[in-house]
Amino acid sequence: MRLSYPSNVKVVKLPCTGRVDVLLILRAFESGVDGVYVAGCMEGECHFLRGNLRARRRVEYVKGLLEEVGLGGGRVEMFNMSASQGQRFAQFAREMTERIRLLGPSPVRK
């Protein structure tokens, strides 16, 4: 499809978003990233049935943790798209990049 998305987005591949763990996201922030988003399959279409639903709940939980520590819950998000929706993938990458740009660099990276 030759779609382009912002080069600042680093992709971490997982077998299923059900593998996304609260600690995994926190560690990413500790390492200094400005934001994290989870790109899962459409709800109801998880190959492992509920992986993406669980991921969403974990992302919500991390939002609360990031609020607590003062980084702001907006730095983490969950998006759903199907494997064939490359357009949507690129669109969310741009949306998230824009959102993070407005929030500025992570205060952890000082």
The reply on whether position 23 binds other proteins by CB under 8 A is yes
Count residues binding other proteins (CB under 8 A).
Answer: 15
Task: Confirm or reject binding of residue 29 to other proteins (CB under 8 A).
Answer: yes
Does 69 sit near other proteins (CB under 8 A)?
Answer: yes
From 8-16, 69-77, 81-89, 97-105, span contacting other proteins (CB under 8 A): 69-77
Rule CB under 8 A: say whether 104 interacts with other proteins: no
Q: How many CB atoms lie within 10 A of CB 100?
A: 22
Contacts 24+ apart (CB under 8 A), 56-61: 58/20, 58/21, 58/22, 58/25, 59/20, 59/25, 61/22
Q: Rule CB under 8 A: is residue 68 a binding residue for other proteins?
A: yes
